[in-house]
Copies of this chain bind each other. A is one copy, B any other.
C-alpha cells in the first residue's frame, strides 16, 4: 500500500538495509550515499511504519492519557499542556475517557497495553489503583496527576490543594467573615479531602468553629451540582456569609442560583471557587478563585514521564523527583467582599 523502505532501496539501487542506515544517520554509510538516499526517500514520500519499527525496538512513540472526562475545562487545560510537550518530543497521544466507570477503565487499560504505549499519564482523581497496577506490572511507567491513591504510585504530580484552600479561606476570614460554608465533591476523593482539610485548618487557626451544617458535599460536580448544593445552605436557619466551593464549576452554579434567588453577590454572600478555569473571569461578578497552574502541571507530568523513558528501565532513576507538588496562587476578583455589617 504505502511506500516502504524496500521501494526506496530499489529506486536507489541498494538494499533496504542501506536505506535504513542512511535514514538513521549511521556512520557506516558514506555521506554522499546518505544524502542521495534521503533525497530519494523524500521524493517518494516515504514514511516509516511505526508498527514495524516498534516491533523491533519495543517502543511505540505513543503516550496514553487517561482522563475522567474530556469535556471538562480543568482537564482539557491539563491535557493541552501534555499535548504541547509530547508533540515537541515526537510522541503521539492516545486519549481515553474513563467516565469514572470501572468497566471502561478496564477496557482502556487493555487497549493501551495492546498498543504497547511507552508510558501513561493518569489525570483522573478516581482512577482505580488496581488498574494502574496492570501497567506497572508490565513495566509501563505511569505518572499520576492529583490522584486520590497517592501512595500507590511511584511518580506523581500534585497541586498543593491544602495550601490553596487555606489561602482562600484565610482571604475570607481576613475580609471579616466568621460563618463560612464549604461545598465539596466527594467522588474526587483525596483532592476534595485536602481542600476541606485546608478549610478546617485555617478556620481553627482563626479560632472559628465549623458548624457541621456548613459543610455540604455532593456527588455531582459541574454547575448544575452547584445549583442543588446551594439549596442546602439557603435552607439553614443561620446562613453562612461566605462559601468556599470545591471548584469553579460548582461556584458558578452557586452564583447563578443566588442570582435566581435574588441574593446579591458579594454584598449578601461571598463565593469563592477553585482551579481558575477560563470562564471564572467572566462570571458576574468575576469569581475569586485559586489559580492552579493547569498547563504547567500537564507539562511537568509529561517531562517526568519522558525522563523515565529516557533512562533504561534497570538504571537508577536517581535524580528524578518522584513526587512534585506544585503551588498556585490566590486570585481575588469581585465575588468576595467584606460581609455586610447588618449580619
Contacting A223 at CB < 8 Å: which of B93, B278, B284? B278
In the complex, what's the smallest C-beta–C-beta distance from A209 to chain B, in angstroms? 32
Is A208 engaged at the interface, CB distance under 8 Å to the other chain?
Answer: no
Is A322 engaged at the interface, CB distance under 8 Å to the other chain?
Answer: no
Residues in B neighbouring A76, C-beta threshold 8 A? 70-72, 76
**Within the assembled complex, what's the spacing in Å between the Cα atoms of A223 and B281?**
9
Cβ A71 vs Cβ B60 within 8 A: no
Residue of B nearest to A72 (CB): B76
Q: Identify the stretch in A50-58, A152-160, A210-218, A232-240 within 8 Å (CB) of chain B at 4 or more residues.
A: A50-58
| A107 in contact with B87 given A94-B92, A94-B93 (CB within 8 Å) | yes
**Within the assembled complex, what's the spacing in Å between the Cα atoms of A48 and B49?**
18
Cβ B80 vs Cβ A282 within 8 A: no
Is A95 engaged at the interface, CB distance under 8 Å to the other chain?
Answer: yes
Residues in B neighbouring A90, C-beta threshold 8 A? 111
| A70 in contact with B79 given A48-B114, A223-B281 (CB within 8 Å) | yes
In the complex, what's the smallest C-beta–C-beta distance from A91 to chain B, in angstroms? 9
Is A6 engaged at the interface, CB distance under 8 Å to the other chain?
Answer: no
| A47 in contact with B284 given A71-B77, A83-B97, A97-B83 (CB within 8 Å) | no
**Within the assembled complex, what's the spacing in Å between the Cα atoms of A72 and B48?**
33
Q: Scoring A residues 92 to 107 as 1 if CB is less than 8 Å from chain B, else 0, what string do you get? A: 1111110000001001
Is A256 engaged at the interface, CB distance under 8 Å to the other chain?
Answer: yes
In the complex, what's the smallest C-beta–C-beta distance from A172 to chain B, in angstroms? 22
Residue of B nearest to A90 (CB): B111
Contacting A51 at CB < 8 Å: which of B55, B96, B97, B259? B55
Cβ B97 vs Cβ A80 within 8 A: yes
Cβ B47 vs Cβ A110 within 8 A: yes
Residues in B neighbouring A96, C-beta threshold 8 A? 83, 87, 92-93
Q: Scoring A residues 20 to 53 as 1 if CB is less than 8 Å from chain B, else 0, what string do you get? A: 0000000000000000000000000001111110
Residues in B neighbouring A87, C-beta threshold 8 A? 96-97, 104, 107-108
Residues in B neighbouring A94, C-beta threshold 8 A? 92-94
In the complex, what's the smallest C-beta–C-beta distance from A340 to chain B, in angstroms? 20
Which residues of A, 268-315, contact B by the 8 Å Cβ criterion? Answer: 278-279, 281-284, 286
Cβ A284 vs Cβ B283 within 8 A: yes
Residues in B neighbouring A73, C-beta threshold 8 A? 71, 73
27 contacts between A and B (CB under 8 A): A1-B138, A2-B113, A47-B113, A48-B114, A49-B55, A50-B115, A50-B116, A51-B52, A51-B60, A70-B80, A71-B77, A71-B79, A71-B278, A83-B96, A83-B97, A87-B97, A92-B96, A93-B94, A93-B96, A223-B282, A252-B282, A256-B284, A259-B284, A279-B279, A282-B283, A283-B283, A283-B284
A residues engaging B (CB < 8 A)? 1-2, 47-52, 54-55, 58, 60, 62, 69-73, 76-77, 79-80, 83, 87, 90, 92-97, 104, 107-108, 110-116, 138-139, 222-223, 252-253, 255-256, 259, 278-279, 281-284, 286
Instruction: Give 13 A-B pairs besides A71-B76, A73-B73, A87-B96 with Cβ atoms closer than 8 angstroms.
Output: A47-B113, A50-B51, A51-B115, A71-B278, A72-B76, A87-B97, A92-B96, A93-B95, A93-B96, A223-B278, A256-B282, A259-B284, A283-B284
